[in-house]
Amino acid sequence: MKPTTGLLCWNCGRPTGIEKKVFRGDSCPHCLADLRCCAGCRHREPGRRFQCKEPIEANIPNKEKSNFCDFFQMRLVQKTAGGVKTKEEDKFDRKARFDDLFND
């Protein structure tokens, strides 16, 4: 399997063609899953209050639909033989994501 760049869909694991920010109307061109949703967010954690690491004030009932959450950050995923899994970041990934904050 050749490596891909850009955002992979949280649902099907295929490339979406998105390289930078994810907007509320963005969806996967293959499975049509909403991309700016809790299921595609790096802060989602099922064991936490409202299933989120961030201090959100209200529950978002459908985690697979687009929403207006201010804390959204795309979850880095990689496609493996067993399906889609969260990619582990190293210090270079974290630095690149930090530097991207100032490249608007």
Q: Provide the residue ranges of all domains of the chain, joining segments of one domain with +.
A: 1-104
2, pLDDT greater than 60: no
Least confident interval from 51-55, 74-78, 100-104: 74-78
Which pLDDT value is given to residue 103? 74
* pLDDT score for 33: 93
Q: Tell me, what's the pLDDT at 84?
A: 55
Task: Determine the distance from the C-alpha atom of residue 77 to the mean position of all C-alpha atoms in its chain, rounded to a whole number.
Answer: 8
d(CA 102, CA 55): 24
pTM here is 0.67
The percent of residues in the chain predicted with pLDDT above 70, rounded, is: 75
CA–CA distances in Å: residue 99 to residues 23, 32, 69, 95, 96: 20, 30, 22, 6, 5
The mean pLDDT value for 37-66 works out to 90
Q: Mind listing the pLDDT tens digit for each residue in 7-46?
A: 888 888 888 888 788 888 999 999 999 999 998 888 888 8
Of 77, 75, 1, the residue nearest 36 (C-alpha): 75
Q: What's the pLDDT score for residue 74?
A: 83
Q: What is d(CA 23, CA 60) in angstroms, rounded to the nearest whole number?
A: 17
